[in-house]
Amino acid sequence: MQSTLSHPGPSAADLKVLFAASEAAPLIKTGGLADVAGSLPPSLRRLGADVRLILPAYPEAVQAAIPIKPLAAIKVWGADEPVRLLEGRLGEDLPLYLVDAPGRFNRHGNPYVDAHGKDWRDNPLRFGAFCHAIVAVAMDRAGLQWQPEVVHCNDWQTGLVPALLAEEWNRPATVFTIHNLAYQGLFDRRCFNDLHLPNRLWSPFGLEFHRQLSFIKGGLAFADWLTTVSPTYAEEIQAPSHGFGLEGLLQHRSKRLAGVLNGVDYAVWDPSRDPHLPTHFDRDSLADKGAVKAALQRRLGLLEAPDALLFGNISRLVEQKGVDLILEVLERLMAVPNTQLAVLGSGDPVLEEAMRAAAKRHPGRVAAEIGYDDPLAHLIEGGADAFLMPSRFEPCGLNQIYSLRYGTVPIVHATGGLADTVIDNTPARQLTGAATGFVFHEPTPQALWGAIERAIDYYHRPGPFWQKLAQAGMAQDFSWNKSATRYLEIYREAEENPAHHPLG
């Protein structure tokens, strides 16, 4: 391969990478991490790296990865019986290892919480065993006769891996990606003992965080390189407002912290071939989006009004996503004739109920689907005119990027990846055609409403203005190639310059 790396070094073809995550689409998905873990490794592979993915063996993942074959059984802390390592494939050719810890992952549904939305009580043991198994593979102690040069860990569920590997001689380099700093994997000190973690790691410079065991600190303090999923979020998490008490550590590590914007998989998210859409369209046939809008309105019981301005929202219904801000402006939105809102999400029962109640108050104009529904998510991206994303913070955010490609104009709060991907429709940019959406700067109902009002105005302006704005968004390219190349550079840097052990 022609190397695009900034410094000389072996080509990507030489590089063995173990990519560890707790979810990966299409095997198992709760959010953006799955989209990334399902699409970045294949992109790295296309660039020539020998990437293999390792996940917990949830029943859905085992089912989707069939045929699988048992590879090895290893004894790890956190699991009473030996852990089985299963081998499968993601897509055509991505090697996949599934960690089957008896009694730990064989549960249907959400990987992290039970049917009542409560964290599984044995999460520290589940993901602790997962981390120990990743280390066994990383050190070639699982009998695979393959040792990675780089282990790329993602979020707290894999956080212990860089800490455990830092204790090893002849270890692979480690890269840790923060997809959302709000989720840290904090547990009682007792779990530290149950997982038989080396004693010296119990330190404020190690895994201890205010007398609790912090999985994420294993990544933040010990990995050779840290990344997060957008440049703006990389800055934000170094400030108290977004650092959740970890900002000092992140500042300390800032020379080894990079913001690499997530790419998206246009093989899955493309209105010109999306199997979940009844009709296809692209930039040159944007008028055909109308048929998708009609299908969405029918599917959700909204009035089938072609000229209604239809807003969409798909998210985990949690405070982070600013769902309460949407609820705050909802009556004002409904006071404007010919507006509609389609919401898909699940999460906080209070927000779920409030959305259901709003739909009841405005039949035919507000639809709230509570649950997780991938085909409907595609249909909303395809059929809505505008997409609301008022997140209080947003590490990267994928739905606004999908919206751009589907000609669904995003309305976003200027934070994290939203600030890095959507260009505000200011009067100056209306002249140049550079804008792609509407951006507001405070996470308040007033600011959100200001952006919505600008959108309503622009939608009704006579002439093809709205279409041009949507088409400018559709022309944006957020495919993985550039970001995957950047990851390869970071892998090389991590390998060539290992970090000092924080405990000496």
Tokens of 499: 């970090």
Asked if 346 touches ligand ADP (CB under 6 A), the answer is: yes
Among positions 172-211, residues that touch ligand ADP (CB under 6 A) are none
Q: What are phi and psi of 500, to 5 degrees?
A: -70, 145
**Chosen residue from 46, 316, 356, 501 binding ligand ADP by CB under 6 A:** 316
26, 31, 102, 198: which one contacts ligand ADP (CB under 6 A)? 31
User: How far apart (Å, rounded) are the C-alpha atoms in residues 504 and 269?
Assistant: 46
Question: Under a CB-based contact definition with an 8 Å cutoff, are residues 383 and 282 in contact?
Answer: no
Indicate whether 296 belongs to the interface with ligand ADP (CB under 6 A): no
Phi, psi for 42 (deg, rounded to 5): -60, -35
Structure tokens at 174: 């480690």
Q: Name the one range near ligand ADP by CB under 6 A: 219-227, 350-358, 395-403, 487-495.
A: 395-403
Q: Does 348 bind ligand ADP (CB under 6 A)?
A: no
Residue 274 makes contact with ligand ADP by CB under 6 A: no
Pick the closest to residue 265 from 28, 1, 37, 27 (CA basis).
37
Q: How far is the CB of 200 from ligand ADP (least distance, A)?
A: 34
Name the DSSP class of 198. -
Beta carbons of 373 and 7 less than 8 angstroms apart: no
Per-residue tokens: 14: 């030489």
Q: Which listed range, 53-61, 66-74, 287-295, 308-316, lies at the site for ligand ADP (CB under 6 A)?
A: 308-316
Per rule CB under 6 A, is residue 230 in the interface with ligand ADP? no
Q: Select from 138-146, 251-259, 396-404, 456-464 the region that touches ligand ADP (CB under 6 A).
A: 396-404
Considering the complex, what minimum distance in angstroms separates the CB of residue 33 from ligand ADP? 6
Q: How far is the CB of 225 from ligand ADP (least distance, A)?
A: 21
Token output for 233: 């979020």
Tell me the C-alpha distance between 295 and 274, whole Å: 14
CB of 62 to ligand ADP, least distance (A): 22
Q: Does 314 bind ligand ADP (CB under 6 A)?
A: yes
For ligand ADP, which is the closer residue by CB, 138 or 234? 234
Name residue, tokens 């985990």. 316
Q: Which of 42, 88, 345, 473 binds ligand ADP (CB under 6 A)?
A: 345
> Of how many residues is the chain composed?
504
- Residues in contact with 39: Cβ distance below 8 Å, sequence separation at least 6, in sequence order: 25, 263, 264, 265, 268, 480
What's the min distance (Å) between Cβ of 406 and ligand ADP? 11
Query: Which positions touch ligand ADP (CB under 6 A)?
Result: 31-33, 35, 314-316, 344-346, 372-374, 377, 396-399
